Each structure stands twice: as C-alpha cells, then as structure tokens.
Structure 1
C-alpha cells in the first residue's frame, strides 16, 4: 500500500530542514539550509534514509567500505513526528519503525534559535521478539550536501590532522580525489569510494580531530561537522551517492572498532551526538563561527564562561613538572602581580621520587620532599589564596600506576580488562568508571582536594591509550565497554560539578 508523499518543514530563521516521507513510507532529509528555496516537488530526492543501521544478519544492499545502503535503514518507515521547544532550542523528533525486526529508531534534531547548526542523535529500541546484534547505528545521515556532478566537481573536503604538540592542522582537497567521476561508458554510476575519517582508542582527537567539512569553491557554501565523543571510536564518511554528496556520522562501529551491541527485546541504545553547521555563502570561516556559537549554547552553564578569569599554569616554559615550595613561591607572587586570578600547580606535586612517579601514581597525595615543613603543600596553597588567587592542581584521574598501592587494593573489575586480563599500558592501568570502586576512589580524591583543601581548579590530563577498550562483562566487546566507560566518565564529571558548582575543570 502506498500513500502520497508527506512534506515536513522544521526549523527557524537561520536553519530549515525539510523531510520528505515518500510513497514507500521512508523518511528522507531532502534539504538543510536557509528557509525558502525550491518547492520540494521541483527537487530531486536523495536515496538515503534518515538512519542507517547494520546488524548481524542485516547488512547492506551495496557492499564496500561505506556504512550506508543498509537493509534496516531502507526498511525503516515513518511512524510519527513532533516539533517542540526546549527553551531556546527547536526540537524535531521523528519516529521510524522496521516491520521486519521490530526495531524503532527515534531521531532527534535540535537547533539553537538563530544558529545555523543541527544537532542529531538517534535512540534505537527493540520492539521485536528476538535480540538484534547491532554493528553500526548512524547518528546523522544527510544526502543533499551537494546536488549533481557539477556541484561535486566544485566541492572540497576539509579535515584536521591532529598530533601531540602539532594540533589542528586543517587540510583541504577536492572531493573528486576520493569520489571520482565515473565516465558515461561505465554501466554503474554508484561507486564504492568515499572520504572517511576514523578515531580509535581512548583519545577521540588522536591523529585527526573528530571533525570535517565540505565547501563549494565558488559560492562559498560550507558544511562543517563534529562528532561529540569524549573518547573511544568514531567514524565519519562523505562521498557521492546517486549524484548527491552524502554525509554519514557514527560513534563506534563493528567494522572500524570491533563494536557490537546486543539489543535485547525492550532495550534501547543511544548513539553518540553529532552536530552539523551550515554557511550559505560565507565559506569555512562563517561555518566555524556558527559552530562556535553552537558550542557555547550547548555546553553546561558555568560562572567561568561569563567571568573569563586569567589562569596561570606553572608547567610550560616554567617548572615543567618539577614544582617545589621554594620554586613556586616566587612564581605565585609574580603571577599575582601580573593579574592572574587562578594559579595552577601542574604535574609533579605528588612526585616523591624525583621523576619516578610515572608508574606509581594513583593516590594523589602531596610529596613531602617537594613541600617540606609542617604545613607541606598547604603553605603553597595558602600563599596562592593570600595573593588573591584561586589554587589549582593537575590530575590524571583515569590512571593507576602498576607500583601504586591502589593497583592491588582496588578490585580487578575496577580496571580495563580484555580476555579476563587487566590491561597494562606504559606502566599503568586504566580505571573503568562504570565500576563503583573506581568512581568511589576518584570521588574521595576530589572531595579531599576540593572539599578539604579548597582547590578551585582541576586540570585533567590523559596520557595513556589502553587500546580498543575493555571487555569487562561477559560477551561484551572492547569497543562497547569503552563506550560505556566514556559515558560513565562524563557522568562522573557532572557529579563533581554538581557537588562543587564553583569548581573549574580544564579538560
């Protein structure tokens, strides 16, 4: 049974989305940009559905390296949609249903009023009778970034190479390098190539930023996207599909990260959120400006965003991880005289072995040799406050050194494990913040440093990559365990900010 196409328009004065529910019941995002433009009946419709899902036994209709053209995605039928408001945010929720598996996908688009940025995430729910073993679920699929071969000919891809002390090296190259034009003599006009970016391990920005873009060389229309993941796997691909430039963004996947998720009947899974910024003619700079406004609207409110205090950190070009009372006191006075409002003691304040701390960290107690005398480190913290500044400390909360007493006092289940063996990386173990013992340990550390010592600033570092993740639970893939830990980590950060609203956290 077929029905007439249904057109859904949603958005605000700076961004409008158009979704067409075709005669087959499949919902497709046909346009995203400024309000207005051609009527929907005068535009070609992209082939891609709102969501792409692969699962064991349910792969793709066009095999290759791309995660689009999934059978489940093509079967998802529009069931309902609703537009609401959440303060300054416009919200559109679209509910889709696969009659074969019983999978329900709820797509939620959000956009702050006056900002041309779309935030997207998907919740899938199993309303069927059998477990569905998920292998990939898209967070956002957009078909019409560029419409037609000529538009793709004139489009450039953007991405950012990102390495330690060599960050944010933005690159640009023609889209045709990875999505070549197929000559008319070729029977098939749907290739298998695409431009893809993938993040692995626990550092979401290692090698490349979880960002990318597509820009027209001539009119300057630009799309800029980011995958909002605090660590673990992510994947993005941009290519040509039926003469349209498409974008598909994911968190971890089976193909790229060994991620799988058994979705039991009645259970839900939520994807990693992503955002897509749009500039009609201002080029990449205007798109970056829009994304910056979106980030400011989306982040958790905090007083330091409004005050913008001046922060001095003793590490780079100063003490370089070798703080002592004698060295810090003159720096404190100089920073105060220069107008600093926060003074942060960086790495080394816990180092009682003069450089041997790497594989013994975890207790986060001050070094008696570095801070001698009856008051120890409190002499330094008090001096910071006396000079009108807020004291801060460096912390690397996720790690426990192999020589730390906590490596034996905490249970094995509190650490990353694979195949039942605790993971060790460069002399350290990595905490799994899903385990209550790991979280209790870190809560006690923060309660001591912030609640008892009066520290008002924590600089959080993260210096090891323990690989694919943790398979702590029976049948859990490391990629799934890593995603669970990532989300528990964010929950822990929310918890300490809830307890200490004045605390400033540098990530």
Structure 2
C-alpha cells in the first residue's frame, strides 16, 4: 500500500470532501461536507489551525479534538467509538496511529488508518472510501493480535461517527408499521444523544432507514443536509449527539453501527470483527440532492440490474392459498394478454401449505395440489413469453412441518424452549451449517428444476431470543452473515437469478441486502394513498427501478379503501411495476386500461428507471408532486396527486422541479389511464390545451413561476409528460 508523508489528507468527489489530519496519537477529522477545493499547503495549515477549539472553563486542560476514533482518552464524553473489555479489564481504550494508506483518485479515493491499543492487544483499521457519487463509505476492522492473552475480548459496540456543524439543527428519520413503512418524523436537535436502536434481527418496518440532519426547514429542493445509512440487514443503532462542549470545533456528531448483543462478539487471539459499511453523504440541494447521490451510488454497483425491469404479475392477492392449476393457467393467459413479462407464484405451493399455520421449511412441491409438480404451470407461463418466479421464505419454519418434527434443534431459540410464534412461525438457525446446507440444496434444486428466473424472498417475523440452544449464545450477527452467504452461494450457482427482498413488505430494506438482491418489496400495502407516501420516502435511498410497486384491486387488501383504477395505475407506474389482483375477474374496460398501462410502462421505463427523482416542496401533504427527470434534461414525467382534502380551493402555481429555466419545453397530459376526477367547474386554461396536444412553455414558467395545477378530488392523480425543445 502506498504511504504518504503528508500530514493532512483530502478525499474529494462530486462537490464533497473529507479532510483528515494525521495528528498524534489519533488522527482527527478537520472537515466533512462541502468541497473546500484544492487547498494549498498554506490553506491546509490554516484549516488545521482553525480546527483547534478553545479550552473551556472547568474542562480538561488541552483542546478537545474530535478524532477518527473518539474515546475518553481524548476528553470525549460522548458515545465512544468502541466499547468492550477483557474479562472485566482493559476497559479504557487508548489508541495510537501506526500506519496510513492513502489512494486519492480524480473523483474520490480511499484512506485507511491503522491504529493500535496495546492494553487490549487490539489492532484497528478504519477505512474511508469516497465514491464518485459523493457518498462516503466507512468501515472498520477490529482484531486481536495472535500473540494476545488467551482471554477473549468482549466487544460491546462499535460506532462510526462524523462531525456536524452548528447549523445542522433539525433531524429527519423514519418510523412505521406493517403497511405504513417509512413514515417521516422531524424534531429539533437538542443537547444529549438522540439514538434509534433496532432489536428486531432485521431493519424492521419502523426502520430509521436514513437519518438526516440539516439546516432548519430543509426540504426536497433546498437546504444543506447530512445523512447516514447503515448497510446492514440486522440489529442497528443510529445516533445524533450534541454535547455542550461540542465535538472539537464541530457542534455535534452523526453516526451508526451494528447493535451488538451482549456476548455476541468475543474476539480470541487472531480473530477479528468487521463492521457493516456506514454510508455518509452531504448535499446543499436538500433531500433530492441527498437521494440523487445514493441513487448514483446504487446504480454504479456492478450487479445493478441493466436490463429493462419486467412487468410482474404476482399471484398472492389473486388466489392467496387457493392453488388450482386451471385457475392459475387462466390467470397466466390474462397476464400475457395485458403485457405482463414475469409471472410469480406466491405462497401456497409447497408441501402442507394450505394456510400460514403449516409447511414452512418443507421446500418441496405439494404432491396433492400439484400432482405433476409445477411443470404444467411453468411450461404454460413460458409458452406465453413470460418468465417464471416463485415465493419462498427460507429463514422461517412452522412447527407444523416435517422439517421441525425431524430437526427440532434447527429452530432458533433458548435451551428452555422456543418462545411464542409470530404469524405462526419461528426462525431457522442459519448459522448452523446443517441448516445452511439444507436450504441451499432445497433452493438450488427448485431453481434448477424449474428454471426459475426470480425468487420473492420473504421474512415475515422478527428475531426474538436469537440464541443457540444449549449455551444460549446470541447469534443475530451470525444469522445475517449466514443469510448473505446463502444468497451469494445461490446466485453463484445461478448467475441470472434475480431475488426480491421482502420482509412483511418493507421490513428489510438496506444497502447490505441490496448488495446481493435485485429489488425490494416496499410494502404489503397496495392502497395507492398509502403507496404514494411509502414510495415517496423509500426513494430517499433507492432509485425507482429497485422499488416494487404493484396495482392491486379496487378494494385494498390491507385497508379496504376503494380507489379508482386510474389512481392505482398511475401510482404503480413510478417503480418496478406489477399487478397483484385477479385480473380474470376484471371488466373489459379495466383490462383495456391495464393493457394501456403496461404499454405506457414499457415506453417510459427507460426514463423512470434511469432519471433523477424529484419531489416538490408543497405546503402540507394533501397534494403531492413528484417525478423523474432525465439526466440530460430532455424529458420528464410528473405525477400530480391529491390524497386528502385541504382548506384551500386553489393549489396556486406549483413549480416543476428539475427543469432548466433557460430551456423551452412541450407539455402534455397522458390520458391512456383515464382522467382523474376534478373538483372544479373548469380547469386552468393551460390544461385544456395539454389534454389535446403538446403545449409549448418556457422553462422559467414551469420551474420558476410554476403552473397553476388543476384541483383534484381526493385519491386522484394526473400524469404530466414534459419534453425539451432542442
């Protein structure tokens, strides 16, 4: 690894920068955020000089510096970078720098810092990787030296932190529940520690998801913001912390890490623990700017889907557990007629699975329901030109299953017996090599026999008492690593296989699982009112092509709300689109609209799945304007939606985000899906023309002055297409 004699090192990319000083004994973060430009040696020296804080009254007698590994040894009274002990000793870590690797690139680069703690015989390597997108990934490896004392070092917590300035004074994160994932919540940043802990064995339906801190009042299109996301599919901990004395010359810190259970990570000599990657990013263009950086990062993955995202039909809300071959064949026929490209058979196909009370774990086709196996359906689906996909839930088991009866020790839980079931199921111990081998063999056989193109991989309960029987050792960490290995091994055997991450809907959405899957199921709720908000905020981290968005029936399966097909179709367009209803029962006019929608999806998906997501800042949540703008600015598609009534009669002029004021555009309303219900006698004058033909308007009118939008009744949406005049 190349070393450097420079004392101040900088990583720069896409308008952001990280500046670290190789101070002794531990380097310190001088700056993270807006790019400071190409600083001269004098400029860097000035940054270091101004990075020295005052020595406060009733304080330690040297300046408090915020280091890359903050501990009490620095006079840091906040959350330490790591906590642990060696049989009750070595509980005051004191690290020092032993080596540096610095690999700057034209856009980004990597900086690794080697630290050591002789008291606990620990070696620590902190690696900062700034991607061309401007997202900074931070990962740490903590290892015991091979010649260390034989007692294991109990690692209690590792937290990755970066500093925040005083103007970052408002927090946005998320909560949620089943069918209402990623509900935003805001609060001012006060003194003390604001921490979000996840103890569900997965990120959960109430996942903090992406913790953002910004200038008060920041929105989608304005304000300076700093964010962090933990790429880990298990227990998590996020924090924003502000002490009265600050963090060096900074005001507060933002960070996160895996939440470790007591006794979970015990490092014997020669063993190590590697943290999940914490992804940090900054933007001075609000939440859309932050989202754009994450979308760019995700799309740059080597395994990111490059082919058009096929239109899906999933059988769940069409047939549930009623797997009748003739009925499914008719459903496949209708799916092909409307333009579906991938047919997915959901829950109910395997042995003993007539309800959710039994069968999980027995991953062979039920011979009673499917006497010829799945072959008749699979062959028919393929003959219609569609791919075949299948639902599985490999990590779970029903006690009413042959697997649980034959291998009760494979069920994760304490030696005294498993606790209460959740959704009538328990968890398999994936860290047990026998369990892992069984699941890989069962899934491999299914994919191989039926040429399965796609697995909907579900995870319908949380991990409680996630311990091995006998010694009751915690294994939540090992469970996640075993899951990753299982998916990786299956994909290695079947390189073309695509996998969806589903967990009671959107309960496992993170960049750790997305490193090995191809899309997520945003929610079990297909109600378009709820979906407008769920998809709006899921897109804060993920681009639309990774977000499953399906059209359900007129009466929602989860809320019983009745909505128009035009509203449902428009909402589902802005994602990886699909259908989740029994279309054999649709009236001819509804089938015609589904067919038109399928054609519209195929026409627009290059834009929808390759452009920049934009969302307008509006007063209140009764109306929403969101869209996708091509990166070259040549095209855009917007959805104007109303999800509730509001006191005002007129929406006023609404700016279309993402367009260039100096350009000229053509605007039209796409009417293939039908028109919304209007709450007005007549619409704005521009709308009449745009309904019939293209309307030419200056960019300044569209994006600076804004368009007076039509007044819609609740649960309605309008689709607006924009093309630049070149």
Question: TM over 0.5: same fold?
Answer: yes
| Comparing 449-458 and 414-423, the one that deviates more | 414-423
Q: Which residue of 1 aligns with 2:153?
A: 132
Q: Which residue of 2 aligns with 1:485?
A: 479
Is 1:471 matched up with 2:468?
yes
Q: Which residue of 2 aligns with 1:79?
A: 98
Q: Which residue of 2 aligns with 1:319?
A: 319
CA distance in 2, matches of 1:502, 1:260: 35
Could you tell me whether the CA contact under 8 Å between 2:357 and 2:400 is conserved in 1?
A: no
Q: Which residue of 2 aligns with 1:44?
A: 51
CA distance in 1, matches of 2:91, 2:21: 18
Question: Is the partner of 1:26 in helix, strand or coil?
Answer: coil
| Comparing 333-342 and 304-313, the one that deviates more | 304-313
1:282-431 to structure 2, matched below 5 A, reads 282-298=285-301, 301=303, 304-316=305-317, 318-350=318-350, 352=352, 354-355=354-355, 357-371=356-370, 375-410=372-407, 412=409, 414-419=410-415, 421-422=417-418, 425-426=421-422, 427-431=424-428
State the Cα deviation string for residues 332-386 of structure 1 (Å, max 9, x = none). 112112222110011112264632x4233211233344445xx343211111011
Note the C-alpha offset of 1:51. Answer: 2.9
Note the C-alpha offset of 1:159. Answer: 0.2
State the Cα deviation string for residues 378-429 of structure 1 (Å, max 9, x = none). 21111101101111110000112112111133362x3313246456624433
1:121-270 to structure 2, matched below 5 A, reads 121-127=139-145, 128-129=148-149, 131-138=152-159, 140-143=160-163, 145-147=164-166, 151-152=167-168, 155-176=169-190, 179=191, 193-217=192-216, 220-231=223-234, 233-241=235-243, 242-243=245-246, 244-253=251-260, 257-258=261-262, 260-270=264-274
CA distance in 1, matches of 2:389, 2:240: 42
Give the TM-score of the pair, scaled to structure 2: 0.59
Question: Which one has a larger percent strand, Structure 1 or Structure 2?
Answer: 1
Could you tell me whether the CA contact under 8 Å between 2:236 and 2:259 is conserved in 1?
A: yes
User: Taking structure 1 as reference, are residues 220 and 111 closer, same or farther at Cα in structure 2, changes over 3 Å only?
Assistant: same
CA distance in 1, matches of 2:19, 2:348: 54
Q: Which residue of 2 aligns with 1:96?
A: 115
User: Taking structure 1 as reference, are residues 341 and 73 closer, same or farther at Cα in structure 2, changes over 3 Å only?
Assistant: farther
User: Taking structure 1 as reference, are residues 376 and 411 closer, same or farther at Cα in structure 2, changes over 3 Å only?
Assistant: closer
Could you tell me whether the CA contact under 8 Å between 2:16 and 2:33 is conserved in 1?
A: yes
Whose Rg is larger?
2
Q: Which residue of 2 aligns with 1:453?
A: 450
CA distance in 2, matches of 1:447, 1:214: 44
Paired residue total: 460
CA distance in 2, matches of 1:60, 1:326: 71
Gaps of 5+ in 2: 38-42, 53-63, 84-89, 502-726
CA distance in 2, matches of 1:40, 1:133: 38
Q: Which residue of 2 aligns with 1:184?
A: none
Gaps of 5+ in 1: 180-192
Could you tell me whether the CA contact under 8 Å between 1:6 and 1:20 is conserved in 2?
A: yes
Question: Is the partner of 1:135 in helix, strand or coil?
Answer: strand
CA distance in 1, matches of 2:82, 2:496: 48
Note the C-alpha offset of 1:117. Answer: 0.5
Could you tell me whether the CA contact under 8 Å between 1:136 and 1:260 is conserved in 2?
A: no
CA RMSD of aligned residues (A): 3.0
Note the C-alpha offset of 1:240. Answer: 1.0
Question: Is the partner of 1:29 in helix, strand or coil?
Answer: strand
Could you tell me whether the CA contact under 8 Å between 1:201 and 1:469 is conserved in 2?
A: no
User: Taking structure 1 as reference, are residues 407 and 235 closer, same or farther at Cα in structure 2, changes over 3 Å only?
Assistant: same
State the Cα deviation string for residues 429-450 of structure 1 (Å, max 9, x = none). 3212222211121122212211
Is 1:495 matched up with 2:523?
no
